Amino acid sequence: MKSFSYADLAKATNGFSPDNLVGSGAYGSVYKGVLECETNGMIAVKVFNLDQLGAPKSFVAECEAFRNTRHHNLVRVISACSTWDNKGNDFKALIIEYMANGTLESWIYSETRRPLSLGSRLTIAVDIAAALDYLHDSCVPPIVHCDLKPSNVLLDDAMGARLSDFGLAKFLQSHNSSNTITCTSLAGPRGSIGYIAPEYGIGNMISTAGDVYSYGIVILEMLTGKWPTDVLFKNGLSLQKFVGNAFPEKICEILDPNIIGDEVVDHGNHAMVGMLSCIMQLVQLGLSCSTETPKDRPTMPDVYAEVSAIKREYSALRVKE
């Protein structure tokens, strides 16, 4: 892993200029920058706000997670920097690949970007599922992301999705004692409001089923264009219940109207019927993943297989986007 100094990163980001700021979160800010040693030059620097309670622990968690993972649907970490700034204060940052198309959240709710097509939404759903399937089923010990939401899904030049922000990630205990890494108590942050599995609120241990729940909420959010914390959802009504109440007869009434665009009209009724079939299947998958009881949710390998099959069905329609 390459090594970078504070001066290197300050130079790359024009002194961490506000003009280079591309996002901020609970534990820090992300700046775009240029490093000559990188293939395309562009990088992103996530600078941790170490005065924020939990930020140093989040930095360690991200370093540990990325040290143990490698997958094309996870954001690539180029390096980590733990040093002092030019005033002698502690400085911690991650240098990651720059995602030119920003976050999934910015695409769902933007009034200036072109709307996401159904094909793009399906591709993103497949990519997120692939990332979680890898974390849950291929990593030893398994890793639970614990903070899946649209702002933590980044989109590359080809609109492929990469999962980012492992600051709350937890390693589950391996069945092989030699690979055991301390798991999960629920002390500390548990995720983001609207995406946290309901069982976490009653003291259950963190599990892969929690990520499945968050995935289901993200799917329903992509389909409806509604935040799970929308003012509409009160007095016991949630995004999951809102969609469930409309499914299947009234589902078209609550979909993001941009999902089925003018291109479907050009392809005629066959394309429309095929698209609606894919949408119905995706809604059902989102509802299944976000069911209240953990044991009733599918596993991520099953989810990945199912959403991939929906994507293949859609691709066979040959809808021009």
Q: Which residues pair with 29 in a beta bridge?
A: 24, 47
* C-alpha triplet 229, 235, 239: angle, nearest 5°: 40
Q: What is the DSSP letter of 204?
A: P
8, 127, 133, 147: the catalytic one is: 147
What's the rounded Cα separation, in Å, for the pair 127 and 140?
A: 21
Locate the DSSP E strands across 62-217: 77-84, 90-97, 143-144, 153-155, 161-163, 170-171
Helix, strand or coil, per DSSP, at residue 82: strand
Find out whether the peptide bond into 301 is cis, omega within 30 degrees of 0: no
Which phi and psi (to 5°) does residue 234 adopt? -150, 170
The structure tokens listed for 84 are 């002092």
Structure tokens at 219: 């799917």
d(CA 106, CA 113): 9
Q: How many CB atoms lie within 10 A of CB 290?
A: 27
Two tokens at 243?
Answer: 């969609």
Q: Is 46 marked as binding a ligand?
A: yes
Q: Quick check: is 147 catalytic? A: yes
The first and second tokens of residue 257, run together, are 């109207």
Strands 42-48 and 21-24: unpaired
Q: Is 23 helix (H, G, I), strand (E, B) or coil?
A: strand
What count of residues does the chain have? 321
Annotated binding-site members for ATP: 46
Known catalytic residues are 147
